[in-house]
Amino acid sequence: MRTVGTVVRGIRTPIIKENDNLEDIVINSVMEAKQEEGFNFKDKDIIAITEAVVGISEGNYATVDDIAQDIKNKLNSPEDLGIVFPILSRNRFSLILKGIARSTKKLYVLLSFPSDEVGNGILDEDIFDNSNYNLGSVITEEEYKKTFGTWIHPFTGINMIDFYRELIKEQGCEPIFILSNNALDILKYTNNVINCDIHTRYKTKKLLSDNNANVIGLYEILNKPVNNSGYNEKYGLLGSNKSTEERLKLFPQTGQKLVENIQRRFKELTGKTIEVMVYGDGAFKDPVGKIWELADPVVSPAYTEGLNGTPNEIKLKFVSDNKFPDLKGNELKEAIKEEIRNKDINLKGQMITQGTTPRRLTDLIGSLCDLTSGSGDKGTPVVYIQGYFDNLSND
């Protein structure tokens, strides 16, 4: 009987640069890993590729000036401008903020409070929890400092409001900060608005539009090329990362073609149907730092057909405790294996699934890959997974 279940391998590749043939690099790197490790390819193995190297290889870049120009074009060169619910991130938002500030003369920044939508805090949550402050209120930066003092992030050592203020001023723009969890509060200051939230973007834009704001979403900026720049038709600036001080990498455009080509070529090489996906941030929350990792608009922007759907699993503990309470050892194991073999094709809504994770396969697998590859210097932008779809009944 097999004693090993799911196996996850981070695959090292050459350093990937613009215009590299990523398809060849991924295939060659996995084939080399197979020779080194001695594993065998199987149907339903998974190859996952981080979105970063997809965007890099396809040259999907834009500049701060491209951002500023697109905003001017779409909002008719506003003298003042408001942004709603930006995240607090040097990597994810600083260059976007530069471009926004470069497009106008006065910028109102409405920050959600006490943290942004992905969990980056403006202040220590314990201080906020003990303050009895009314979350429904608007608070100016001056009131914030008087009430809560100046807060430095414990991990980065940076006060993000100060960081954003200096960045805006460097563009010749006047910054004004407001803290509120009501997007409509920005309309007390300006009617020209960019809503910068990620996962509630359509709801926020509709709310502002319904109240006569001249508004565009971050996902609508660079959704087409500007001055021959990169772009992302669906997500615009969402999912972008800082590249240099004047250039950022956008979320990839060609991921679906890439994953389908790699699947086809592996079928030709190995005879096996291997699933392939592109992944970004995993969808999980750090219980200590309070950061919810998902700053990308989706975990996986591209994947092959076999990764559609959600898990269809039974909870072993539930079956053991409720259906076979008097069985033990091999007899119990064999009974549960038979239960797995005979489970319904669709278990949705059945008690036998309680305690299993109700998430999409691509979100679960993408989170696994993000944790495996990390965001630093591991050098493994490709992840190879075996046995993910196996269960106890697979000997």
List, in order of start, the domains of the chain with CATH numbers: 7-56+253-281+300-311+357-386 (3.30.1330.100), 61-249 (no CATH)
Please give the angle made by the CA atoms of 286, 165 and 223, to the nearest 5 degrees: 70
Structure-token match 């065998």, residue found = 40
Give the residues of the chain that fall short of pLDDT 50: none
Specify the pLDDT at position 154: 66
Output Rg (C-alpha) for the chain, integer angstroms.
24
Copy the structure tokens of residue 138: 């608007």
pLDDT in tens, 91-138: 999 999 999 999 999 999 999 988 899 988 777 666 666 666 665 667
pLDDT, tens digit, 9 for 90 and up, residues 245-256: 999 999 999 999
- d(CA 337, CA 373) in angstroms, rounded, equals 33
| Burial (CB count within 10 angstroms: exposed 0-12, middle 13-18, buried 19+), residue 299 | buried
What are the helix (H) ranges across the chain?
Answer: 22-37, 51-57, 64-75, 94-102, 125-129, 141-148, 160-170, 201-210, 255-270, 316-322, 329-341, 361-373
- Residue whose entry in the numeric block shows the structure tokens 């471009």: 99
Considering only CA atoms, which of 227, 247, 230 is closest in space to residue 95?
247
Q: How far apart are CA 234 and CA 213, in angstroms?
A: 22
pTM: predicted TM-score of the whole model, two decimal places: 0.87
Assess contact for 71 and 105: CB atoms under 8 A: no
pLDDT digits (tens, 9 = 90+) for 192-201: 999 999 999 9
Amino acid identity, position 212: N
Answer whether 110's CB lies under 8 Å from 139's CB: no
Contact 81, 101 (CB under 8 A): no
Q: Cα–Cα distance between 331 and 296 in angstroms, integer?
A: 46
17 three-class SS:
coil
pLDDT at 341: 76
Tell me how far apart the alpha carbons of residues 355 and 275 are, in angstroms, rounded to a whole number.
26
Please report the pLDDT score of residue 11 as a whole number.
Answer: 96
CA atoms within 13 A of residue 297's CA, in its CB half-sphere? 24
Per-residue pLDDT tens over the stretch 21-48? 999 999 999 999 999 999 999 999 999 9
List, in order, residues 6 or more apart from 143 with CB less than 8 Å away: none
